[in-house]
Amino acid sequence: MDDIARETGLTKKTVSRVFANSNLVKASTRERVLEAAKRLHYEVNMLARNFNLKRSGYIGIAMHYQQILDGPYVAEAFKGFRRAISDESDYVFALFDTESESCNNGTKLAKFYRQRRVDGILVLAPHTDDQFLGTLKQLAVPLVVVGEKPTCSSVCSVFCNDGLGIELVCNHLYSLGHRRIAFVEGPSIYAVAIRRKKAFLHFLHEKGLNNPSWYIQPGDFSSRSGSAAGEILLQGNPPPTAIVTCNDTMAVAVMGIAQKLGLRIPEDVSVAGFDDLLPLNGGYFPPLTTAHQPVCEMAEWGARVLLNSLQTGVLPSGKTVMDVSLTIRESTGVPKHTNGASSPKQKKLKTRNDSDVTYEVQQPPVH
C-alpha cells in the first residue's frame, strides 16, 4: 500500500479506502489507485485486513465426516450452503470433523471460535449425544444447526418435520388398502430416526393396527441393515404387504431382497422410503415412493440465518421447521389380497411442495 501511495502521491489511507470499497473516494482517484495496483501486482493482504477487522472470513461446517460425507445428504446440504454463501460473499467454508473427541466435546470448536479462526459455525446433522452444542452455546458462538432438532433447546436450528413425513407415507399406504405395514428403524444416535419411529407408532395406534412386534425391525441407515430387515420381514409369516423404511438407502436394499425372493414391487409388496435424496436409480428397481426432505432448502436457510447473524452481530436464535412432503412413485401400490380404495396405478403423481415452509421464529431471509 505504501508503494501505491508513493506512486500515486496519495496516502495509504486513501488507497485503503479504494480496496475497502469505500464510496468516499473520487472516481478519478480510484482509477489511479487501481491502475497503480495492477502495475505493482498489489493484492490486499487479507490476513492483515481480517486481523484488523477481527474476523477470519471463514464459516465452519461441523459434521461427522465418515458418517455423512459418503452420501447425497452432504451434497445437498452443501448445495444449499453455497446458495446462501456464494463466491461473492467473501466467506469461505472450513471443515471440522466432529468425529474426533476433541471436536465432540466442543473443546476444539470452542477454541477455534475463541481464537478467531471461524466467525460462525454451521452444524450439520449432529448426533443426539454430541456434547459440543452445549459447550458452544455458553460461548455465545454464532451457530446454526442444520438437519436436526438439538436437544439443547435454545440452540438455533433448521430441521424438518419428520413425523409428518412418516404420517404422509403411512396414510398413503393405508389409503391404498395396506394394513400389514412394517417399519425399519434408523439408528438412535439421530433424533430424526427416533422421531420417525415415534410417528410410525403413533400412526399404528391411531389406526388401531395391531401388528406383530417383529414388523418393526432395527436398522442403521445402511444398505446392509436394510437387507437384513428385508429378509426377516419378507420371509416372515404373515409377511407385511408394505414396508416403510427410515431412509431411502434401506428402502432400496429392501427392494433388492424382494426381487431376490421373486417378489414383484409393488404388486407383491409396497416399499416406501424417506429422504428423496437418492438419484433415481438406474431403472433396475421401481422408482421409490418416499418422503421428501428439503435438505438443500434447510441448509440454505440455515446458512442465511448465520450470515445474517454475522452481519448484524445478533446471535442467531429460533427454530425453523420445514415440512416434509410425499413423493409418490412406483414402488407403492394396492396390496394383492385387498380391494384398495384407490386406483392401482399411481404413477408419478408428485405432491412435492417445497414452499411448504413453516417459520416459527425467524428473521427475514436476505434473498
Residue 118 Cβ, how far from DNA at the closest point, in Å?
A: 16
Site track 123-162 with DNA (rule: CB under 7 A), x = hit = ----------------------------------------
Q: Determine if 40 is a binding residue for DNA (CB under 7 A).
A: no
Q: Does 313 bind DNA (CB under 7 A)?
A: no
Cα–Cα dist 142/118, whole Å: 10
51 lies in the site for a second copy, by CB under 8 A:
yes
Among 43, 138, 140, 210, binds a second copy (CB under 8 A): 43
CA neighbours within 13 Å on the CB side: how many for 107?
5
Cα 360 to Cα 257: distance, rounded to the nearest angstrom: 42
**Partners of 146 in the beta sheet?**
124, 158
Alpha-carbon distance of 326 to 318, in angstroms, equals 26
92 binds a second copy (CB under 8 A): yes
- Comparing CB distances to a second copy, the nearer of 267 and 356 is 267
| Binding range to DNA, per CB under 7 A, among 43-51, 78-86, 104-112, 144-152 | 43-51
Provide Rg for the chain, Cα atoms.
26
* Residue 47 contacts a second copy per CB under 8 A: yes
Q: Is 129 exposed, middle or buried (0-12, 13-18, 19+ CB in 10 A)?
A: exposed
Query: Closest separation between CB of residue 239 and a second copy, Å?
Result: 17
Cell of 365: 431471509
What minimum distance in Å lies between the beta carbon of 61 and a second copy?
Answer: 8
| Sequence-separated (6 or more) residues with CB below 8 Å from residue 89 | 307
| DSSP state for residue 247 in the 8-state scheme | S
Q: Does 98 bind a second copy (CB under 8 A)?
A: no
Nearer to a second copy, 147 or 163 (CB): 147
Considering the rule CB under 8 A, would residue 57 count as an interface residue with a second copy?
Answer: yes
DSSP annotation of 26: -
Helix axis angle, 162-176 to 191-207, nearest 10° = 40
Interface contacts to a second copy, rule CB under 8 A: 43-48, 50-51, 54-58, 61, 65-66, 69-72, 74-75, 78-79, 82, 87, 92-97, 100, 102-103, 108, 111-112, 114-117, 222-224, 226-228, 230, 253, 255-257, 259-260, 279-285
